[in-house]
Amino acid sequence: MKFILSIAALSAGSVAAFAPSAFMPKSLSVASSSSLNMALADGVKPIIIGVAADSGCGKSTFMRRLTNIFGGDVVGPLGGGHGTEGGWETNTLVSDLTTVICLDDYHINDRNGRKESGLTALNPIENNFDLMFEQIAALKNGDTIMKPIYNHANGTLDTPEKIEATPIIIFEGLHPMHDDRVRDLLDFTLYLDISDDVKLNWKVQRDMEERGHSLESIMASIEARKPDFDAFIDPQKKDSDMIIEVLPTALDKDDKKTLRVRCIQKEGVSDFSPCYLFDSGSTIEWSPAADKLSSPAPGMKLKYGTEDYMGKPSQVVEMDGNFDNLQELVYIESALSNTKTKYYGELTQAMLSLADAPGSNNGTGLMQTLAAFAIRDLYEKKSAIAAKALNEKAAAKA
């Protein structure tokens, strides 16, 4: 798991927006316990979200954004405290409403086993999709499961842990959309697509500039991993409902830090209508007025348009650049529609309340927050449908 570890190290860098950095489970001062999990209302099934990301990176920040929007304020590793006391660790994060499960826990072999097989964890053969399917199906039905644990620290498979169904369950990892049976169980799918250029920029910044590694060794580690990544991970983009693409800025070709982030939203997804800028269905490029939004060089540009994404009609919102003052985001929020917020300014408020989280000054934080609102909206639509069915059932009995 060398690459995952190096990415995890990377992700502590200031530019790694989807990285756990400021909110690694171990650094949590308030730990939750499973007793805090909100019980599922009668007749309401969990909503299951798949998040494909290039490693374990991103779950903490995204979880914080989700929890923040859902109103929960206690987030931490399952069975809080065990990680530092009991000698074993969990990859599972829980809050009042949400459980985030890392798909690394479904690795078939431990690190030694993969040394024998000669395969990377990116290879589907190294992952137990039968068990994954079975357990996601059980959770979706509201049942409790005993999920294996893959120990990232020492590369072993630890004693399974008990997972109870919460209203929202997020499966995050390398292959949430790889297996058709699993994918069919997912209510919404998100792919975090960090471009090769950005991965390289991040690695260079961290491993070369700060740690003195050679560019050759960095390139070699990326190249070694690329065939399996391209074969098994990347194709999942095609079937994702939303893809958050992180690219180098297009505003200055010499700028290696500023990010251009595209949120690709598929059309025709059940209970999901894409967010847009100014005017639905058109194509727009927008450089906000400098006196309303202050942004450091190379400036700020937003785009919106419809496009064919890998053969599927999609709507894309893009932000290129950083903002200096997060409060001014309300100006951009006022130009966005279908954000699934409940009141004017909620998007800005959500970003402001996590101003310290990685990516809060650029499009990664914005698009993660848009994804979080979309998931809340999906959950509420599903709950409303379930509640209506229950009422009708009760009325029929009375």
- Interacting residue with its own copies among 3, 88, 229, 286 (CB under 8 A): 286
Q: Is residue 278 part of the contact set for its own copies (CB under 8 A)?
A: yes
Q: Is residue 288 part of the contact set for its own copies (CB under 8 A)?
A: yes
- Interacting residue with its own copies among 71, 227, 268, 281 (CB under 8 A): 281
Contact 200, 178 (CB under 8 A): no
Name the minimum Å distance from CB 259 to its own copies: 20
Give the separation between CA 316 and CA 46, rounded to whole angstroms: 28
Q: What angle do CA 157, 159, 161 make, to 5 degrees?
A: 115
Q: Is residue 284 part of the contact set for its own copies (CB under 8 A)?
A: yes
Name the minimum Å distance from CB 285 to its own copies: 4
Cis preceding linkage at 298, omega within 30? yes
Nearer to its own copies, 235 or 281 (CB): 281
- Interacting residue with its own copies among 30, 289, 394, 395 (CB under 8 A): 289
Pick from 89, 90, 86, 108: which is nearest to 99 by CA?
Answer: 90
Name the minimum Å distance from CB 244 to its own copies: 24
Q: Is residue 74 part of the contact set for its own copies (CB under 8 A)?
A: no
Q: Which amino acid is at 332?
A: I
Nearer to its own copies, 143 or 344 (CB): 344
Q: Is 286 exposed, middle or buried (0-12, 13-18, 19+ CB in 10 A)?
A: middle
Nearer to its own copies, 335 or 352 (CB): 335
Give the separation between CA 235 and CA 180, rounded to whole angstroms: 13
Name the minimum Å distance from CB 325 to its own copies: 17
- Facing residues of 314 across strands? 266, 307
Query: For residue 182, what are the CA distances in angstroms to 99, 120, 128, 190, 220?
Result: 17, 21, 11, 14, 33
Q: Is residue 273 part of the contact set for its own copies (CB under 8 A)?
A: no
Q: Which stretch binds its own copies (CB under 8 A): 97-105, 246-254, 278-286, 360-368?
A: 278-286
Q: Is residue 196 part of the contact set for its own copies (CB under 8 A)?
A: no
Q: Which stretch binds its own copies (CB under 8 A): 147-155, 168-176, 191-199, 272-280?
A: 272-280
Name the minimum Å distance from CB 374 to its own copies: 22
Nearer to its own copies, 5 or 284 (CB): 284
Give the separation between CA 284 and CA 317, rounded to whole angstroms: 9
The mark string for 323-342 relative to its own copies (x by CB under 8 A, - otherwise) is ------------x-------
Nearer to its own copies, 151 or 287 (CB): 287
Contact 38, 28 (CB under 8 A): no
- Interacting residue with its own copies among 112, 214, 270, 282 (CB under 8 A): 282
Q: Which stretch binds its own copies (CB under 8 A): 27-35, 93-101, 162-170, 275-283?
A: 275-283
Q: How many residues bind its own copies (CB under 8 A)?
A: 18
| Residue owning tokens 């060398």 | 2
Q: Which amino acid is at 88?
A: W
Sequence-distant contacts of 201-209: CB under 8 A, at least 24 apart: 201/15, 201/248, 201/256, 201/257, 202/10, 202/13, 202/15, 202/16, 203/6, 203/10, 204/256, 205/13, 205/15, 205/256, 205/257, 206/9, 206/10, 206/12, 206/13, 207/6, 207/9, 207/10
Name the minimum Å distance from CB 301 to its own copies: 9
Contact 148, 105 (CB under 8 A): yes
User: Rule CB under 8 A: which residues touch its own copies?
Assistant: 278-292, 305-306, 335
